[in-house]
Amino acid sequence: MMFEGPRTYRVQRADREPLLRFMREALEARGCRIIYASEPDRAPFVIAFETLTGERMGVVAYAFLATRTPTKNRPDDERSFQVKYGSKLENNLHEIYQDPLGLLTTVFLGISPDEGFFVAVDPELHNPTKFFIRIEFKDSNAEDIKRNGWTTWERSRINREDEPVEVMTGGTKEHFLDLIRFERAALRLDPGNRQLLAQKPELFAQIPLLSGTNLTLADVPQHPLGTRLRPRRGSGCYRQCPTPEDGCSWLGG
């Protein structure tokens, strides 16, 4: 069986190189060793790397430049990134790649290299995506990112009331590896659970143990939402019930 890689687009090297450099430097600053990085004249970017603990990972990055450009008839405090590769097709629908083997993690983000932060959206919510669209966020979101390092919020629904709720995440450069881990864990989660997970970085940003370390069952991490789901007694279904203190009367046992 053949597995196809992502569809790629020719882009301007000079325009895209700062985005690729941002991601490479972010990973290297966390002790990662870059095994492979695609050239900046083809997008999306693909980076394979090994973490400080020996874990091998890969990322497919649909990365765009995040800017603060005053625009007529738009709010004064608005920032955005434009989703654009190549030329607009007649049907203008472009598939966002997800690795069928789960070895590569897809991220979809705007990057501000000068200010040292990124803003990411759910790749699956934009799959397929149109090109020449803008994804907006606020000055206040950028300030929260720079102040806290990692944050999440719901995208404004002004003039887009008919569209689904969209959860956005943002982080400073040192949290780019955390974004990759987050997107790996959050794949195809609904917006509510996606935001719940984003608010708990300790659930996905943990450093895995080195290969060959002696493990017990208690050492193996659960899925990030596993601790918030408990089986209904006597059945195979699940429902959300964070802790016994929440008044749950049917926790397994």
Paired with 42 in beta bridges are: 10
Q: Which tokens sit at 130?
A: 């149109």
207 vs 28, residue with greater confidence:
28
Q: Residue 10: phi, psi to the nearest 5? A: -80, 130
Query: What confidence score (pLDDT) does residue 71 get?
Result: 78
Residue 241's contacts (CB-CB under 8 Å, 6 or more residues apart) are: 228, 229, 230, 248, 250, 251
9 pLDDT higher than 70: yes
Query: What confidence score (pLDDT) does residue 93 get?
Result: 85
pLDDT digits (tens, 9 = 90+) for 160-182: 667 778 999 999 999 999 999 99
Mean pLDDT computed over 40-56? 96
Query: What confidence score (pLDDT) does residue 161 get?
Result: 64
Q: How far apart are CA 48 and CA 27, in angstroms?
A: 10
Query: What confidence score (pLDDT) does residue 183 get?
Result: 98
Q: How far apart are CA 180 and CA 194, in angstroms?
A: 14
Query: What confidence score (pLDDT) does residue 247 get?
Result: 44
Q: Which tokens sit at 3?
A: 């597995």
pLDDT digits (tens, 9 = 90+) for 199-215: 999 999 865 544 444 44
Mean pLDDT computed over 66-88? 86
Of the candidate ranges 43-47, 83-87, 124-128, the one whose mean pLDDT is the lowest: 83-87
Q: pLDDT band for position 106 (50/70/90)?
A: very high
Q: pLDDT band for position 216 (50/70/90)?
A: very low
249 pLDDT higher than 70: no
Q: pLDDT band for position 233 (50/70/90)?
A: very low
Mean pLDDT computed over 110-117? 98
Query: What confidence score (pLDDT) does residue 224 get?
Result: 52
